[in-house]
């Protein structure tokens, strides 16, 4: 029997069901079915309730026809008794609403708050409980208040139109990036095969910045040096800050010198600020080798903006774990190493190290040499950055223009 037909029967039977000790389905249209629920769903609401009525007839009731379920001894049974004795007044409904909230019957509490507003439209407590806000001299629902503030709903959240535009563009970019990922991976698989020319033409013809993540992915995972050089050239042709950052990461991390130098060529050609910013972060690395590599790359690009970061990285401290000698001793060497030795156990030492590649970068960019004296470098930079040194150096880096 179909649910629609059953509901009609239930409507007829409901009027014959008296009060009993079993469970009760309270229906939205006002009827009640008392009996035993045959498919209890715990805390979850089933799509359809199966109930054996007191008459012995088994019925199926769609859950969207059920207002609430009364279980013996439960909160709904208490509510069922209280609501019959409640005075339909502001005070009566408020007391009932508060009781419902205290017993986690939120939907029924809201029903009583709405009834209060029918009796007293300006009741502050009911308005507040239902989420109304006092805005521009009137009570408004949250949706009305957000609309009055010029906001719009996007994916279930209220945002300003500018935010919506950004989110929509981001979604479009993500979709485009997903499409580019499929296309670039296909070209990657076709390189140096029968379709090499088409794949190479496709890669070299990329002009959409949304392809950068896909190119970065194949540049990272492709083991063929000749393929990497193609991706590097494609990224260089795009020339966006995102592309330059990918090339900067490759220049720092790729195991092949040929690949790293190819990235550097592109970065030097574009005077890539995004890559320099990335290298400046690497100057704070815990790995001394990466500090020097980042310094060397900045020196090759020659960006004056990186001078303060380079000064800070002239010397850096790094932790090392070394084996100890017999006995226990505390030591401090002339090389800046300090630590504690205890028996033959390993120990952690803190070593201050000079970074020659960083010093060399500073010398190349500024034509100055204060060695590893950070104070002298900082003093020079502070004196001269307002006096035209930065702009003069930039003109020199640009070929004297």
CA 312 to chain centre: 31
Give residue 149's pLDDT.
87
- Give the predicted TM-score (pTM) of the model: 0.60
pLDDT above 80 for 144: yes
Q: Does residue 4 or residue 113 have the better pLDDT?
A: 113
Give tens-digit pLDDT for 306-364: 999 999 999 998 887 876 555 444 444 444 444 444 455 777 888 889 999 999 999 99
Q: Which residues contact 377 (CB under 8 A, 6 or more apart)?
A: 311, 314, 362, 368, 370
Give tens-digit pLDDT for 58-70: 888 888 888 788 8
pLDDT above 90 for 107: no
Among 231, 176, 221, residue whose Cα is nearest residue 200: 231
Q: Mean pLDDT, to the nearest integer, of 138-163? A: 90
Name the burial class of residue 180, with classes exposed (0-12), middle (13-18) and buried (19+) by CB atoms within 10 angstroms of its CB.
buried
Domains of the chain: 3-72 (2.30.30.100), 77-140 (no CATH), 172-315+354-397 (1.25.10), 316-353 (no CATH)
pLDDT above 90 for 134: no
Among 241, 263, 238, residue whose Cα is nearest residue 250: 263
Q: Containing H/E element for 239?
A: none
Give residue 346's pLDDT.
74
Give residue 21's pLDDT.
52
Q: Mean pLDDT, to the nearest integer, of 283-299? A: 95
Q: Mean pLDDT, to the nearest integer, of 102-121? A: 92
pLDDT above 80 for 167: yes
**Which of 245-254, 303-312, 382-391 bottoms out in mean pLDDT, i.e. has the lowest?**
382-391
Q: Which two tokens stand for residue 67?
A: 């207002």
Most trustworthy range by pLDDT among 3-12, 42-51, 55-64, 257-266 = 257-266
Q: Which residues contact 216 (CB under 8 A, 6 or more apart)?
A: 235, 246, 249
Spatial contact of 237 and 206, defined as CB atoms under 8 Å apart: yes
Q: Mean pLDDT, to the nearest integer, of 26-32? A: 80
């Amino acid at each position: 029997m179909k649910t629609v037909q059953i509901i009609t029967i239930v409507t007829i039977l409901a009027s014959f069901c008296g009060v009993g000790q079993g469970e009760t389905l309270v229906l939205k249209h006002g009827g009640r079915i008392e009996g035993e629920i045959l498919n209890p769903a715990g805390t979850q609401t089933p799509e359809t309730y199966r109930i054996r009525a007191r008459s012995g007839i088994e019925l199926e009731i769609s859950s969207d026809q059920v207002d609430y379920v009364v279980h013996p001894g439960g909160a709904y049974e208490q509510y069922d008794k209280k609501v019959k004795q409640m005075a339909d007044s502001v005070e009566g409904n408020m007391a009932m609403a508060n009781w419902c909230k205290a017993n986690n019957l939120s939907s029924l509490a809201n029903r009583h708050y709405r009834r209060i507003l029918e009796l007293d439209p300006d009741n502050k407590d009911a308005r507040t409980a239902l989420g109304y806000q006092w805005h521009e001299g009137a009570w408004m629902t949250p949706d009305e208040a957000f609309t009055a503030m010029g906001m719009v709903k996007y994916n279930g959240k209220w945002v300003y139109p500018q935010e919506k535009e950004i989110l929509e563009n981001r979604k479009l970019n993500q979709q485009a990036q997903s499409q580019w990922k499929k296309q670039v991976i296909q070209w990657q698989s076709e390189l140096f095969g029968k379709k090499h020319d088409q794949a190479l033409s496709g890669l070299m013809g990329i002009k959409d910045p949304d392809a950068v993540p896909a190119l970065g992915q194949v540049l990272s995972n492709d083991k063929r040096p000749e393929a990497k050089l193609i991706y590097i050239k494609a990224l260089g042709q795009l020339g966006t800050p995102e592309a330059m950052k990918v090339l900067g990461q490759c220049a720092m991390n790729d195991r092949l010198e040929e690949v790293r130098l190819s990235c550097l060529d592109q970065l030097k050609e574009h005077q890539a600020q995004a890559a320099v910013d990335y290298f400046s972060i690497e100057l704070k690395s815990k790995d001394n080798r990466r500090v020097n590599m980042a310094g060397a790359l900045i020196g090759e690009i020659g960006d004056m903006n990186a001078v303060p970061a380079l000064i800070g990285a002239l010397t850096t401290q790094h932790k090392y774990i070394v084996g100890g000698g017999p006995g226990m001793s505390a030591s401090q060497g002339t090389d800046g190493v300090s630590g504690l030795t205890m028996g033959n156990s390993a120990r952690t030492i803190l070593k201050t190290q000079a970074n020659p590649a960083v010093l060399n970068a500073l010398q190349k960019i500024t034509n100055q040499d204060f060695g590893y004296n950070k104070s002298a470098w900082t003093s020079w930079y502070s004196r001269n950055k307002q006096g035209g040194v930065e702009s003069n150096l930039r003109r020199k880096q640009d070929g004297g223009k």
